[in-house]
Structure 1
């Protein structure tokens, strides 16, 4: 293995708001886990028409093959552009690209299709376009290998969490607030098989959808709308009874559970309770915060207690939702009585927006060297698996 390799990790999440590129230097450490150093991160938004097409594809009951093919190739060009601009910005050239792609559909629980139970996932964004444009190998389509091995194909970030953020002294919970919220709980001194990781439910997804429908905005900047609204407690309590929240890990979710249909029902419930537009956004924000606090109380505290007698833990937040003041205040208020200290990812040396890009840079590096990238205790897979497909540049 080379001493160091520069890898670009490309991520576009379930919020479908744009592309994050993380340029990383990854090196092999003999007898230990890889060393990952973030060189730089750059984010860019999707053009309005592209975002509209992506969201339409996610929520479509039917869509033409031509439309899906065109979107796949268009996204490939967008991802290639994003990497090239990031390389120019930071003055480096990646030798490898790891591209998660845009999730169009993710069904982690089997349902009968054409006479047999089927689980499936689909991330789009043509890797051949990226490889040709940048003239380097591209690793893409990470989730199917884990699902074929019996896992849910998510979450895949726990490998990065373990490599970069485990501690011999303190238990850490790494919480990402993207479209969907996901966490990785790492007990102090843990081995990789001691992790607990799962999707907590919606993070920004329901908030953003409410903002779009009610205010014509893509997100609640700084949580300003939520801060002037009031939380409709009966609606919040009813929403938290959603079956997903009480289901034990491993588990994963997406727009299939918390997309357009869910948001329509949620808004209707709020309206029936007399909510204003700002109240609806405040209640959606509280749903995110309370579902995370409930997951910590219900699953994480018990898990940590198996490995350590220390009750205090660090709760480290990343993702776009970390900039939402209302959401962060609700999280802090909910976690404080549970002896969890909330910190931002930046305090550990990685920007909140960069983390998932860094994760897919690491997963691409592992795949390139034939090493497994999933964490079976997190995804439910029967075995460790080398993830992704390699497209030569």
Structure 2
């Protein structure tokens, strides 16, 4: 066994998680975790960098260093809490902070013709800075090798989920609900089949942005605001018409696609005149809380539809397949209730059932990716990402 630390900040940007794991070739045990938020100044800059704007290059370069300093800070706090020294840690696996994710070359450029544009993904958080400040070797830049091989660069976690959480005899789906939701569909180990997986669409990001706009809150605690409203079935049907939901796998997405502008455009298309929208509001058919309820249903529906479509309900002996939820969405009681109802033919629970806190699964994943790099274990699944082959992911940044 060797100790690794995984560093993760997802698309919701609700904080930086450091997860300490003891990892061998056959197990990954979570020992401890620590989280800190970004400073208000840095969070504002990161949100701005997720869309096109002025002063991008200078802001990106500065944020790259500041994100790394935050990652180092949470790492050192985790070590102190657990009476550990940098020398006790084999390596840090750092995901970085995703700023843009366009693996399909779906961007415009003032400098490049369409035929010259290449797919890319961009995560910041300078691993050199992390290595220097912590005194620990850092493995980072996990996604770009997969994109170089023609893949989406996401989701990567199915390889980790399969290695650590696959059941001997049950079908098990891991659903990570962060800003974006993704699913890993794991066959029983006895089947010796590779996992399936992809991003299903928005997780918490639209709900977080909507409640921020209307109530100045960063998230909907327990889904209480959504639960106080009513899903607008017509609007939900309109949202579900988005082309992304009909795309076959492999596919991945991000908040550069599913964001408040996407929602505003959808509302404008559904209510083409202000009078129609005001009429809905006047008749209490579409209060802001009802939009929140509709967004919650959108997340639940897009997850559940993909599981029902692609995942068996039982194993060979007839036992129900399991759906295990992790990420921040696991704490949204209204969303968990929605998923349980939509997936009544499955056993739906959260990752506590697997012995790991839902908020620590992704951090543990990048600790495992560092272990995979050190031990020459492929970190991607071509059937998931679309890459031309499996390969070891990441690059090593030695401590000073």
* Length-normalised TM-score, structure 1: 0.92
Among 355, 358, 379, the residue aligned to 1:352: 358
SS at match of 1:289: helix
Which residue of structure 2 aligns with residue 364 of structure 1? 370
Cα distance change on mapping 1:343 and 1:87 into 2, 3 Å = same
Which residue of structure 1 aligns with residue 132 of structure 2? 132
For the 8 Å contact 1:158–1:184, the answer to whether it is kept is: yes
Which residue of structure 1 aligns with residue 330 of structure 2? 322
Which residue of structure 2 aligns with residue 298 of structure 1? 309
Of residues 87-96 and 275-284 in structure 1, the stretch that sits farther from structure 2 once superposed is: 87-96
Q: How does 1:163-174 map to 2 (within 5 A)?
A: 163-174=163-174
Which residue of structure 2 aligns with residue 101 of structure 1? 96
Higher strand share: 1
SS at match of 2:311: helix
Among 31, 35, 41, the residue aligned to 1:49: 41
**Cα distance in 1, alignment partners of residues 367 and 260 from structure 2:** 31
What do residues 175-228 of structure 1 show as CA deviations (whole Å, max 9, x unaligned)?
011010001011223566431111111010110010111111100011110111
Does residue 299 of structure 2 align to residue 288 of structure 1? yes
Give ranges in structure 1 of 5+ residues lacking alignment: 29-33
Q: CA deviation at 1:62?
A: 4.2
Which residue of structure 1 aligns with residue 75 of structure 2? 83
SS at match of 1:252: coil
- Number of residues of Structure 1 aligned to a counterpart in Structure 2: 380
Among 11, 18, 27, the residue aligned to 2:24: 27
For the 8 Å contact 2:173–2:185, the answer to whether it is kept is: yes
Cα distance change on mapping 1:192 and 1:198 into 2, 3 Å = farther
Q: CA deviation at 1:91?
A: 2.4
For the 8 Å contact 1:210–1:263, the answer to whether it is kept is: no
CA RMSD of aligned residues (A): 1.9
**Cα distance in 2, alignment partners of residues 356 and 72 from structure 1:** 21
Q: How does 1:208-247 map to 2 (within 5 A)?
A: 208-247=208-247
Cα distance change on mapping 1:131 and 1:328 into 2, 3 Å = same
For the 8 Å contact 1:193–1:375, the answer to whether it is kept is: no
**Cα distance in 1, alignment partners of residues 45 and 102 from structure 2:** 21
* Length-normalised TM-score, structure 2: 0.91
SS at match of 2:241: coil
Of residues 82-91 and 123-132 in structure 1, the stretch that sits farther from structure 2 once superposed is: 82-91
Cα distance change on mapping 1:189 and 1:5 into 2, 3 Å = closer
Which residue of structure 2 aligns with residue 180 of structure 1? 180
What do residues 113-137 of structure 1 show as CA deviations (whole Å, max 9, x unaligned)?
4332411010001111100011111
**Cα distance in 1, alignment partners of residues 193 and 3 from structure 2:** 28
SS at match of 1:347: helix
